[in-house]
Amino acid sequence: MVEGRSTTGASAVTGADPMSVLRRRTSEKWRTYPADVLPMFVAEMDFPLAPAITAALREAVELGDTGYIAPHDTGAADAFAAYAAQTWAWSPSPERISYTTDVSVVIVESLRRLIAPGDGVVITPPFYTLIPEAGGTVVEVPLLDGPADDDGDAYTLDLEGIDRALAHGARAVLLCNPHNPVGLVHSPQTLTALARIVQKHGASVVSDEIHAPLTHHRHRFTPYLSVSEEAREHGIAAESASKAFNLAGLKTAMFVAESDRMTRLIRSLPEEVTFRTGLFGLIATQAGFAHGRDWLRSTVAAIEENVALLHAQLAEKLPVARLRRPQATYLAWLDLSELGWGEDPARYALEHARVALASGPEFGPQGAGYARMNLACAPETVVEAVDRLAAAAAG
């Protein structure tokens, strides 16, 4: 088991903590399974925090700055807006940004005001549980997939399917951009076409963009609200630093609007939706977007190295398994259907290989035979995981 950080390439900047340190963590990733299991299921990094975030949180603790948030403090919103402008050429207005605890709350609270009870909400799975919580009905329109020998870039939105669903009465689309679990970064052409379809039907879009800062270097992320006036009129973006900087437990996300209509909707939310935001989350979000960009770049590079490593390891040791290469995120979508491990190969992998993967079928029927692997870890962990899976397949 790996006990030290990588010392090569970009991973020397962003290297995983030693396993002896990681197993002292108390989060879900490290408390769900026994110590003989490699936990590669939940979306949590094995990397240490960005130094700027560590310093900001340390200063807050030393000051005793552990109280309630100041709801009108735009520090985190300013930092995100500056990051978006410099990274994606998108300049959201901090005055139109509001805080809450996490992206799932942005999704649920937005949909509660955009749809009537029982209205259909289009999903391109996942997000099954959030729609009923918001009072809606799930309408599945899965991604279209390309030929079997293509990678993750063969996926695309089924625009005709979304058009039909809205024509039959669905009132909103819950967009996942970049898509979890396949790591698809939707093109500006696709998003513009989606906006046109949604506007035609008088519907709305909530765009979950939590993985956007983790877009890989050969690809370019396009914010939904940047593609057209139509998108800005009917869309709300859900943004957060939690995936990019590993801050999920600090509980901060952002509603982002770009039209008067959606700004009024956000401002109509109960005060408690904002007031429950974590102060440490706001502090860390501001520090990450303002001062953690070098760390983030090296982290994405380390993730891309692990994607390439996983691809090579599978080709050598488990060639019947197929990696759908992501364009973003640290999540690898694995086609394990040829192994004969059933519709949910993650179960077999846990029992026989002692590797914990995320269940493919939990992302919809199209996930049968698939599992999701977290690659925000040491390269040695990727190698050991493949070794264990290959041994289970051989045994």
Q: What is the CATH number of the domain that holds 207?
A: 3.40.640.10
How far is it, in rounded angstroms, from Cα 226 to Cα 312? 37
Residue pair 362/220 in contact by the 8 Å Cβ criterion? no
Handedness of CA 194, 196, 199, 200 (dihedral sign): negative
Question: Does 255 share its domain with 338?
Answer: no
Report phi then psi at 375, rounded to 5: -105, 15
Question: Does 201 share its domain with 317?
Answer: no
Q: Which of 291, 318, 342 is at the close of a domain?
A: 291
Burial of 10 (0-12, 13-18, 19+ CB in 10 A): middle
How far is it, in rounded angstroms, from Cα 12 to Cα 6? 6
Q: Classify residue 94: in a domain, yes or no.
A: yes
Q: Classify residue 72: in a domain, yes or no.
A: yes
- Which of 177, 183, 145, 210 is closest to 327 using CA atoms? 183
Decide if pLDDT at 333 tops 50. yes
How far is it, in rounded angstroms, from Cα 249 to Cα 214? 18
- Which of 155, 129, 126 is closest to 372 using CA atoms? 126
Question: Does 129 share its domain with 244?
Answer: yes
Question: Does 249 share its domain with 281?
Answer: yes
Question: Does 26 share its domain with 37?
Answer: yes
Q: Mind listing the pLDDT tens digit for each residue in 32-46?
A: 999 999 999 999 999
- Which of 301, 296, 88, 297 is closest to 191 using CA atoms? 88
Q: Classify residue 4: in a domain, yes or no.
A: no
* End-to-end CA, the chain: 21
What Rg, from alpha-carbon coordinates, does the chain have?
Answer: 21
Question: Does 285 share its domain with 214?
Answer: yes
Q: Which of 291, 318, 334 is at the close of a domain?
A: 291
Q: Classify residue 194: in a domain, yes or no.
A: yes
Q: Classify residue 129: in a domain, yes or no.
A: yes
How far is it, in rounded angstroms, from Cα 119 to Cα 134? 10
Domain count, the chain: 2
Question: Does 348 share its domain with 206?
Answer: no
Question: Does 73 share its domain with 198?
Answer: yes
Identify which has the larger pLDDT, 72 or 391: 391
Percent of the chain with pLDDT over 70: 95
Q: Mind listing the pLDDT tens digit for each residue in 123-166?
A: 998 889 999 999 999 999 999 987 655 555 689 999 999 999 99
pTM as predicted = 0.94
Containing structural domain, residue 274: 55-291
Residue found by looking up tokens 């005060």 in the block: 271
Question: Does 254 share its domain with 308?
Answer: no
Q: Which of 291, 310, 330 is at the close of a domain?
A: 291
Question: Does 114 share its domain with 76?
Answer: yes
* pLDDT at 221 (0 to 100): 98
